Amino acid sequence: MQEIRLTPTSYIVLGLLEFAGESSPYALKQLVAGSVGYFWTLQHAQLYTEPERLASAGYVSETREETGRRRRLYTITDRGRAALEEWRNEPTGDLAELREPAVLKLFFGADPKRLAIAQVAANRARLAEYQAIRDSMPAEMPPGPRQALEIGIRVERAAIDFWEELAD
Amino acid sequence: MQEIRLTPTSYIVLGLLEFAGESSPYALKQLVAGSVGYFWTLQHAQLYTEPERLASAGYVSETREETGRRRRLYTITDRGRAALEEWRNEPTGDLAELREPAVLKLFFGADPKRLAIAQVAANRARLAEYQAIRDSMPAEMPPGPRQALEIGIRVERAAIDFWEELAD
DNA sequence: CCTATCATGTAATCCGTTACATGATTAT
DNA sequence: ATAATCATGTAACGGATTACATGATAGG
């Protein structure tokens, strides 16, 4: 049994396995794309390596299909559930950094107008996506995803305001 | 002469070297802390390895102090200046992802109230820092840093609004 | 003087990205 | 049938973080 460090990627995998039950890496890929993916994407390769890593430390268990492609299938274990629960219950004061490429350029003297035009377009497109997702969310969905979406929308709006003003 | 890929880290180093002239890694560390650091921090070790990497591809040149500690000193070259300029002139439609740890927890079902309390506090503290930096910025400063700060402030406000509402 | 803290750097590890590959399905 | 795309994985690489270390300087 290995000791591993749990990263955000780990919790995404654990969270999805808890929600969806036994899943293959490819199924996880689909799940990410349709959920957390709107604010936290993962490379598909990570959805093969990360469950493997989690399995090596007992947070998930692995079986293989007997027939056909013999896909690997992962299930969250009690240990995994406990780790997820602990993480979830620990409120964090951590803050992500902005790390916006366009802001870096702005900082180092890029032409604000040209930048702003591209950024307004990109942010508007993303805002539209978010709103589309929100409007198509089934009502019986748990509240977390909707709330996460909501802060995304707020931040997008703030960004659009900023870049629009900058363009003048 | 190596071929290397230029990352955001590379442009931060190049941008600071252009601004400040010949600098040691430690001086770069101080520069980052007092400038871009408010929205994009770097590990101090990167300020030793990254200039090295840039030197291997001719974007910066390296000398050493003759006396005392024999620190390494880096200067941006014409090639470096050109790369920086090209990057700066290329408007980007790239958007950073939110990747906020607290939002991930929210997404996966953490208690919104408890999370919100911690997040409001953290975001308020950061907002205060931003405002302090802004208010102490010398007037003759180039506009980029001030504008970058401004979007940071907007985003913080949006986040605070969101978490405050969530706490009710 | 002694001890924190600042200054300066190197080395190892590891996660995440990129590249490579090939087996199934679907569409035309 | 054949091409295109989806599904499924492995391997290599590299940048970023973490850990380790030691020399200078300042405060008590």
Strand D at less than 7 A from CB of A27: yes
> What's the mean pLDDT when you consider all of chain A?
94
B46, closest nucleotide (Cα–C1'): D16
Contact between A118 and B158 using a beta-carbon 8 Å cutoff: no
Instruction: Provide the pLDDT for residue B81.
Output: 98
More confident residue, A67 or B111: B111
pLDDT tens-digit map of A119-129: 999 999 999 99
- A122 and B98 within 8 Å at the Cβ level: the answer is no
Could you tell me the pLDDT band of residue A68, with boundaries at 50, 70 and 90? low
The distance (Å) linking the CA of A129 with the C1' of C5 is 50
Query: Distance between CA A122 and CA A118 in Å, rounded?
Result: 6
Mean pLDDT, to the nearest integer, of A11-32?
95
Q: Which single residue has its CA nearest the C1' atom of nucleotide D19?
A: B45
pLDDT of residue B136: 87
Q: Which two tokens stand for residue A67?
A: 């027939």
Write out the two tokens for B97.
Answer: 């992802």
| pLDDT for the residue numbered B68 | 65
Tens-of-pLDDT digits for all 168 residues of chain B?
889 999 999 999 999 999 999 999 999 999 999 899 999 999 999 999 999 999 999 999 999 877 666 789 999 999 999 999 999 999 998 999 999 999 999 999 999 999 999 999 999 999 999 999 999 888 898 999 999 999 999 999 999 999 999 998
A-chain residues near B84 (CB < 8 A): 108
- d(CA B116, CA A168) in angstroms, rounded, equals 35
Cα angle at B160 between B157 and B163, to 5 degrees? 150
Residue B53, CB, strand D, below 7 Å: yes
The model's pTM: 0.94
Q: Separation of CA B34 and C1' D25 in angstroms?
A: 22
The identity of residue B75, as a single letter, is T
- Distance (Å, rounded) from C-alpha A100 to C-alpha A85? 31
Does residue A4 sit at the B interface (CB-CB below 8 Å)? no
